[in-house]
């Protein structure tokens, strides 16, 4: 298959499945809280809706920047899809993409000039302190498998069994990272309802659409990376089942936990990271 | 053989003591910082942390190590400069006090400030030009600085300062051009070398001299 | 080519959901009816789940056609407005799962 | 070769004397990312922060003045270029110097503002940056002492890791952490983000995250766990 | 080996430096410290001379008075400021 | 909740440098437990200290051989293939430097710091990019400091 | 060789002594005293440079120390003049 078609295909799949998973998550959370909840399709419709709404830009915004940054987020996650499912490149590259994404996310907030966006931006910087150590899980994977290239990691797991059994603490760390990126999670301080919609507060119309598209792709990609590097070679059906399972699990967690205060959220995550890194290193030395 | 194949045994034997000294010094200074309540004291103590860094680099004992000391020094100097300025700016905003521009004249009739500056500065500048490069820049810079510090000619106008800054920008470009010549056109390496040396000299010296302008405003404004 | 098939599945699911949502708003005007089963939806749901899970039985259709058709029908019920289509879906899953189990085990 | 298992196939080298820059897909992506953001910053204007005033119904607008804007944009562009350089450099000492440059420029970007809290954060960050120059350059020097080379390409071809190299890389990572203000030290940094001038603040964050990712690559090259 | 051999420029300048260092640390008044600092610098310069790098010694010798002058000016200035503050407090009290 | 209090206090900017320095201090101390030694196979090695000055070499301590504009000096660099003129800068002396060299043996440092010489070779030629950076660092620091000084600390009365 | 070792160890001793003096020496509550004490480690480092024959670095370091001292003193004097409690 030609590369461009492959990329397009994967991006579309990522977007649609990501949105459906978000919808599913909302539904599950609603049911746990004994509300009827919106249909599963809701998140997708919500995203598409923004493309036919009028776009307006706040007059206080930092102009070309404010628009470019939202489109940038999209581009970044599309490149994540390219690195991940399409060419199965280096995990380090994925790490870099995650870092860039973090920046875009926080500056989407601050470039609008809204106080809520600004607060969300400050919190995003803060939360990066916790998420970057969590991403160090990739280093543990490297130490275990001796490679950073995704296709080699898959081969390694085909031979030696899933990594989740050999480095469970790393898998736990990555799970916390995924948890922190999910909506309504205890660690979602950047989008807490106390600051309206966080960094998305001042994005309307097309820009909001971009942001939501990239969020969906991001969710898909995080789950994809988790399943790929910890569970091993899977068919597409396997990925689907895994993603649904993780989404439902996270929905359970999110619906029963409160939003933490920013400092505490960071420190809880750092504690997890610390336990995870030290624990996995110790486990590796022992085994 | 003028240059040995490997590092001489004596340098190797001195590495460990030097490294340990650096570690001890670093530890003491860092501990000092961590127990410091006042910001300005922490700033002074970071100077010593820099000293520990220089010892570690010097302990390698090769020509390369010597070339690496210079960046370390420069970084240290530059950061102290910028941070002390930020500290002052912060305190000014905090106290909200306008420091009177012309407070108490200093009654200081030190002989050295009347007779020596011209001579000392001249020696330093000439010697700095002879040295060229970073070292020359630093030496000549201190010369300019001392001149500015001690001379009574106060009120060096704003434009002049900007002019001096401009020189250093141009000098930086000269150095860059020299650097490029060394790689792009290796045949005329001599020109590149001279451009680099004098570019850096001008740059460092003019920058150091700027401190003198800052300092003179403090010390000699009667 | 695998991915194209899955893309078609997803799209048919999405289209089904959208259509189901629209239809359900047209059809039902009470909000959130808990204990009532709509026979039409029940039939659609059972048909859909049957197609999805037992596509091997329908040898005259290529499996991806039957599955995408099935997913469309499944989504039509699953995607209804809040409070509707839940029991129908459960029945659909149960019946077709029983059929599937019976066929695989026997 | 280790570099290939980390960042993908080696695409090319740019030799500048002893300092050889090398390009893998990973380095190239990060380099391009840093450059794109730098261009974006260079052409953007800043936002206006609107806050409600206490005790009245008026809004309070916080803007970036023209002079402040110019200097901060200049510093931000320099910071972006330094980050881009740090992504492709192939020399440990060169990398540390770029990190030091990023550190000082970051301080500069926030030092031009007027809020006391922000200035305080900038000062504390500056203190960390200065302290961090000890482990940063010290770590590089210990790597030089133990391997006899600073070029990452040469270090990648060594077949062993001594405890000394490990110690040096611990120092190096601490130094980078301090200089760029990552990980637990974000608390000083987060305060600095309250000031207006979103595009310039972006570069502070961008540089620290990209540099830490790159640092992980370098450290994995220096330390061969197997 | 003759113990008197140990009395040469190197050892003497080392001793001078140690005295200077001890003086700087232990003496309480800043002005005394500046004098001891000159002693330290003197020892240092003679060490360089013992190493026979005369040009370096020359530069160090030029920088010595400059450093001293800077220190002196700062101390005088700060004493002045402190004196003035004390006066103000007295007059206000 | 005590833990929460502690976590909150850790986020105070003023504590961070102190925390960082104490952690760094203890990590430095672990250096004593690690076996360390200088690898003697280094780039750009130099002769035994004081050796050249004891021989009465007027270029001490930076004499690395070579003849001005004729024969390159001896420099062991990392990638000699990238440096066609390796060693030439080391051996280069300006005319003034040559006259100084002929008159006294105690000015080796000054001679080798004037254009040409070992440090110039390393700083400008083999590791030129480093020097670009370090002079940039210096320039940036001065830009920052002078900007702050000009706009805040010096000319406050104009605000 | 002996001379070189004397310089080296004198330098080490001065650096350590000076650092201790700067951190916990008598009267270091006064910033001026503290800055004066930092001159001792500076001289110690110069000696270490000298014993390794890093003469050019030594030259630069001497000049840079003077400038750093000036900067620090300027900061201290200014802060004192403002009456800032830092």
Do the Cβ atoms of A112 and A66 come closer than 8 Å? yes
- The full DSSP string for A74-124 is HHHHHHHHIIIIIT--BHHHHHHHHHHHHHHHHHHHHTT--HHHHHHHHHH
pLDDT value of position F7: 67
User: How close does chain E come to G37, measured CA to CA in Å?
Assistant: 6
pLDDT at residue number B214: 59
Residue B86 included in any domain: yes
pLDDT 10s digits, G19-49 = 998 888 788 888 888 888 888 999 999 999 9
Among candidates E58, E69, E77 on the partner chain, residue whose Cβ is nearest the Cβ of B110 = E69
Asked if the C-beta of D161 comes within 8 angstroms of chain A's C-beta atoms, the answer is: no
Of B118, G39, G47, G64, give the one whose Cα is nearest residue E68: G39
Determine which helix (DSSP H) or strand (DSSP E) holds D20, and give its type and residue range. strand D19-23
Dump pLDDT digits (tens) for F106-141. Answer: 887 777 777 777 777 888 888 888 888 888 888 888
What's the pLDDT tens digit per position in B188-210? 777 777 777 777 777 777 776 66
Whether D16 has a pLDDT exceeding 70, the answer reads: yes
Chain D residues near residue B82 by CB distance under 8 angstroms: 104, 107-108, 111, 126
Contact D171 F82 (CB under 8 A): no
**Number of domains present in the structure of chain B:** 2
Stretch G4-18: mean pLDDT, rounded? 89
pLDDT digits (tens, 9 = 90+) for F36-53: 888 888 888 888 888 888
Give the model's confidence band at D183: pLDDT under 50 very low, under 70 low, under 90 confident, else very high: low
**F112 contact residues in G (CB cutoff 8 A):** 56
Q: Are B155 and B220 in contact (CB under 8 A)?
A: no
D183–A133 C-beta distance less than 8 A: yes
Domain range for B26 is 9-95
Tell me the CATH number at B28: 1.10.287
User: Lowest-confidence range among D1-15, D195-209, E24-38?
Assistant: D1-15
State the pLDDT at residue F157.
45
Give the model's pLDDT for residue B101.
39
In this predicted structure, what is the pLDDT of residue E82?
84
**CB environment A188-218: b (16+ within 10 A), e (fewer):** bbbbbeebbbbbbbbbbbbbbbbbbbbbbbb
Q: State whether D47 and A112 contact (CB < 8 Å).
A: yes
Mark the ranges of chain E whose per-residue pLDDT is less than 50: none
Q: Could you tell me which chain G residue has the CA closest to the CA of B44? A: G35
B37 and B121 fall within a common domain: no
List pLDDT tens digits, range A24-72.
888 888 888 888 778 888 888 888 888 888 877 777 777 787 888 888 8
Residue F83 lies in a domain: yes
Q: Looking at residues F79-91, what average pLDDT do you find?
A: 80
Q: How many domains does chain F have?
A: 2
Question: Which residues on chain F are in Cβ contact (under 8 Å) with B155?
Answer: none
CB contact under 8 A, F78 and D151: yes
Q: From CA F58, how far away is CA B42, in angstroms rounded?
A: 44
Residue B101 domain-assigned?
no
pLDDT range class, residue B217, cuts 50, 70, 90: low
**How many domains are contained in chain E?**
1
For chain C, which residues make up each domain, given as ranges?
2-105
Q: Residue B100's pLDDT is what?
A: 44
Give the mean pLDDT of F144-153. Answer: 73
pLDDT for the residue numbered B204: 75
Domain assignment present for B26 = yes
**Rounded-to-integer distance, Cα B82 and Cα D123, Å:** 9
- The answer to whether residue D121 scores a pLDDT higher than 50 is yes
CB pair distance less than 8 Å for B139 and E65: no
Q: What is the mean pLDDT of chain C?
A: 77
Q: Which residue on chain G is closest to E14 by alpha carbon?
A: G10
What value does the mean pLDDT take over residues F77-104?
A: 81
Q: How far, in Å, are A237, C49, E93 from residue C96 at the CA level?
A: 19, 6, 96
Last residue of a domain, which of B65, B95, B125? B95
pLDDT of B165: 65
What does the pLDDT read at residue F153?
61
Tokens standing for residue C25: 């708003």
Q: Which domain holds residue E80?
A: 3-92
Residue A208 backbone dihedrals phi, psi, to 5 degrees: -65, -35
Estimate the crossing angle of helix D66-88 against helix D198-222, to 10 degrees.
20
Contact B106 E80 (CB under 8 A): yes
Supply the mean pLDDT for chain D: 81
Residues B118 and B87 in one domain: no
Residues B82 and B126 in one domain: no
Would you place residue F156 in the very low, low, confident or very high pLDDT band (cuts 50, 70, 90)?
Answer: very low
Quote the pLDDT of residue A141. 82
> Is residue B146 domain-shared with residue B58, that is, in the same domain?
no
Cα(A281)–Cα(A257) distance, rounded to whole angstroms? Answer: 30
Query: Which residue from F minimizes the CA distance to D172?
Result: F24
B12 pLDDT more than 50: yes
How far are the Cα atoms of B89, B147, D130 from residue D107, in angstroms, in the given order?
A: 13, 31, 11
C-alpha–C-alpha distance, residues A175 and A170, integer Å: 8
What stretches in chain A show pLDDT beneath 50?
Answer: none
For residue B50 the two structure tokens come to 């820099």
The residue range of the domain holding A99 is 3-286
Residue F14, domain extent: 2-33
Owner of token pair 């970051």: D106
Please determine, for residue B220, whether its predicted confidence score (pLDDT) is greater than 50: no
Interface test with F, best of D13, D14, D16 (most F CBs within 10 A): D16
Q: What is the pLDDT of residue A238?
A: 83
3-class secondary structure, D12: strand
Domains held by chain A: number: 1
Q: Is residue B209 domain-shared with residue B119, that is, in the same domain?
A: yes
Which chain D residues are closer than 8 Å to B53 by Cβ? 133-134, 137-138
Residue B97 pLDDT > 70, yes or no? Answer: no
Angle between helices G55-82 and B189-219 (to 10 degrees): 30
Reply yes or no: is the peptide bond before residue A237 cis, omega within 30 of 0. Answer: no
Q: Closest to B25 (Cβ–Cβ): which among G8, G19, G86?
A: G19
Best of D18, D101, D121 to disrupt the F interface by mutation (most F CBs within 10 Å)?
Answer: D18
Q: Does F50 touch chain E (CB under 8 A)?
A: yes
The Cα A218–Cα D138 span in angstroms is 39
Integer Cα distance of A61 and B153 in angstroms: 49
Q: How confident is the model at residue B104 (pLDDT cuts 50, 70, 90)?
A: very low
Q: What is the pLDDT of residue C93?
A: 81
**Which residue, among D14, D17, D142, D165, would best test binding to F if mutated, counting the most F CBs under 10 Å from its CB?**
D17
Q: Which residue has the higher pLDDT, B118 or E29?
A: E29
pLDDT at D226: 63
């Amino acid at each position: 298959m030609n590369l461009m078609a492959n990329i397009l295909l994967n991006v579309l799949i990522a977007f649609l499945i990501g949105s459906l998973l978000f919808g599913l998550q909302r539904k599950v959370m609603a049911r746990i809280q004994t509300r009827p909840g919106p249909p599963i399709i809701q998140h997708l419709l919500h995203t598409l809706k923004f493309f036919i709404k009028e776009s307006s830009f706040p007059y206080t915004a930092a102009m070309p920047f404010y628009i470019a940054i939202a489109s940038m987020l999209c581009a970044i996650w599309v490149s994540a899809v390219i690195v991940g499912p399409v060419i199965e490149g280096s995990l380090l590259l994925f790490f870099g993409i995650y870092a860039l994404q973090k920046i875009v996310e926080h500056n989407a907030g601050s470039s609008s000039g809204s106080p809520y966006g600004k607060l969300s931006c400050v919190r995003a910087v803060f939360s990066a302190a916790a998420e970057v150590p969590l991403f160090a899980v990739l280093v543990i994977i490297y130490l275990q498998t001796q490679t950073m290239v995704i296709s080699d990691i898959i081969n390694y797991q085909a031979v030696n069994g899933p990594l989740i059994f050999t480095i469970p603490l790393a898998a736990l760390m990555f799970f916390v990272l995924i948890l922190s990126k999910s909506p309504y999670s205890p660690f979602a301080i950047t989008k807490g309802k106390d600051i309206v919609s966080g960094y998305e507060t001042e994005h309307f119309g097309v820009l909001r659409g971009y942001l939501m598209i990239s969020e969906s792709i991001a969710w898909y990609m995080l789950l994809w990376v988790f399943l790929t590097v910890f569970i091993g070679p899977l068919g597409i059906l396997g990925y689907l089942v895994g993603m649904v399972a993780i989404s439902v699990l996270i929905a359970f967690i999110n619906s029963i936990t409160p939003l933490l205060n920013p400092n505490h959220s960071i420190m809880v995550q750092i504690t997890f990271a610390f336990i995870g890194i030290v624990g996995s290193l110790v486990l590796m030395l022992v085994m | 053989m003028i240059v040995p194949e490997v590092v001489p045994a004596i340098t190797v034997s001195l590495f460990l003591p030097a490294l340990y000294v650096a570690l001890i010094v670093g530890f003491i200074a860092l501990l000092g910082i961590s127990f410091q309540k006042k910001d300005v004291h922490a700033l002074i103590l970071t100077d010593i942390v820099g000293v520990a860094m220089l010892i570690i680099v010097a302990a390698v004992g090769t020509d390369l190590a010597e070339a690496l000391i210079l960046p370390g020094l420069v970084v240290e100097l530059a950061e102290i400069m910028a941070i002390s300025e930020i500290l002052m700016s912060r305190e000014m905003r905090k106290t909200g006090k306008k420091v009177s521009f012309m407070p108490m004249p200093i009654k200081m009739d030190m002989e050295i400030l009347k007779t020596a500056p011209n001579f000392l500065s001249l020696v330093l500048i000439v010697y700095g030009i002879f040295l060229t490069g970073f070292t020359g820049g630093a030496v000549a810079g201190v010369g300019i600085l001392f001149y500015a510090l001690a001379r009574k000619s106060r009120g060096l106008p704003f434009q002049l300062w900007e002019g001096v800054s401009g020189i250093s920008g141009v000098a930086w470009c000269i150095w860059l051009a020299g650097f490029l010549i060394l790689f792009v056109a290796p045949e005329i390496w001599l020109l590149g070398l001279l451009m680099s040396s004098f570019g850096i000299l001008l740059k460092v010296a003019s920058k150091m001299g700027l401190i003198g302008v800052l300092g003179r405003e403090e010390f000699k404004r009667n | 080519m695998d991915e194209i098939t899955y893309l078609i599945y997803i799209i048919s699911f999405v289209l089904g959901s959208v259509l189901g949502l629209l239809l359900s708003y047209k059809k039902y005007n009470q909000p959130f009816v808990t204990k009532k089963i709509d026979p039409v939806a029940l039939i659609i749901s059972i048909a859909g789940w049957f197609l999805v899970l037992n596509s091997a039985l329908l040898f005259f259709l290529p499996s991806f056609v039957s599955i995408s058709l099935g997913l469309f029908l499944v989504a039509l019920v699953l995607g209804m407005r809040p409070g509707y289509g839940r029991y129908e879906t459960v029945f659909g899953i149960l019946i077709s799962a029983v059929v599937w189990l019976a066929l695989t085990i026997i | 070769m280790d570099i290939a298992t980390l960042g993908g196939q080696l695409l090319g080298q740019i030799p500048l004397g002893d300092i050889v820059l090398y390009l893998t897909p990973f380095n190239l992506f990060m380099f391009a990312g840093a450059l794109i953001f730098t261009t974006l910053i260079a052409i953007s204007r800043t936002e206006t922060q609107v806050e409600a005033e206490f005790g009245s119904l008026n809004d309070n607008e916080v803007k970036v003045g023209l002079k402040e804007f110019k200097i901060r944009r200049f510093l931000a562009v320099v910071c972006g270029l330094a980050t881009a350089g740090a992504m492709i450099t192939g020399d440990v000492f060169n990398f540390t110097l770029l990190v030091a440059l990023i550190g000082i420029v970051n301080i500069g970007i926030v030092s031009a503002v007027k809020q006391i809290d922000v200035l305080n954060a900038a000062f504390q960050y500056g203190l960390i940056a200065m302290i961090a120059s000890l482990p940063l350059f010290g770590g590089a020097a210990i790597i030089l002492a133990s391997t006899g080379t600073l070029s990452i390409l040469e270090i990648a071809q060594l077949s062993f890791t001594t405890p000394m190299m490990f110690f040096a890389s611990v120092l190096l990572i601490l130094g980078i952490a301090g200089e760029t203000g990552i990980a637990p030290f974000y608390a000083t940094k987060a305060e600095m983000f309250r000031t207006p001038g979103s595009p310039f603040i972006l570069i502070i964050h961008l540089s620290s995250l990209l540099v830490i990712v790159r640092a992980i690559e370098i450290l994995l090259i220096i330390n061969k766990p197997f | 080996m003759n113990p008197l051999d140990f009395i040469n420029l190197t050892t003497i300048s080392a001793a001078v430096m140690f005295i200077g260092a001890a003086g700087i640390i232990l003496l309480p008044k800043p002005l005394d410290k500046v004098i001891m600092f000159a002693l330290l610098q003197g020892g240092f310069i003679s060490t360089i001379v013992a190493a026979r790098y005369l040009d370096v010694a020359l530069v160090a010798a030029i920088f010595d008075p400059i450093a001293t002058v800077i220190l002196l000016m700062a101390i005088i200035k700060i004493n002045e400021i402190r004196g003035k503050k004390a006066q103000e407090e007295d007059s206000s009290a | 909740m005590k833990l929460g209090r502690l976590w909150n206090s850790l986020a105070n900017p003023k504590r961070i440098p102190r925390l960082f320095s104490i952690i760094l201090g203890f990590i430095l101390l672990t250096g004593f437990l690690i076996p360390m030694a200088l690898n003697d196979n280094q780039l750009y090695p130099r002769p035994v200290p004081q050796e050249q000055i004891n021989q009465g070499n007027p270029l001490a301590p930076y004499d690395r051989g070579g003849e001005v504009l004729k024969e390159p000096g001896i420099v062991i660099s990392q990638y000699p293939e990238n440096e066609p003129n390796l060693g030439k800068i080391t051996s280069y002396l300006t005319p003034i430097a040559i006259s100084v060299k002929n008159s006294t043996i105690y000015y080796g440092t000054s001679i080798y710091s004037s254009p040409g010489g070992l440090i110039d070779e390393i700083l400008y030629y083999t590791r030129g990019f480093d020097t670009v950076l370090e002079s940039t660092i210096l320039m940036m620091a001065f830009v920052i400091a002078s900007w702050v000084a000009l706009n805040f600390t010096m000319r406050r009365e104009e605000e | 060789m002996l001379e070189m070792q004397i310089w080296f160890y004198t330098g080490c001793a001065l650096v350590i002594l000076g650092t201790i003096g700067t951190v916990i020496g008598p009267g270091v509550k006064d910033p001026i005293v503290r800055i004066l004490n930092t001159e001792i480690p500076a001289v110690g480092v110069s000696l270490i440079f000298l014993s390794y024959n890093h003469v050019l670095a030594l030259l630069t370091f001497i000049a840079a120390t003077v400038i750093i001292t000036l900067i620090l003193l300027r900061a201290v004097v200014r802060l004192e003049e403002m009456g800032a409690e830092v």
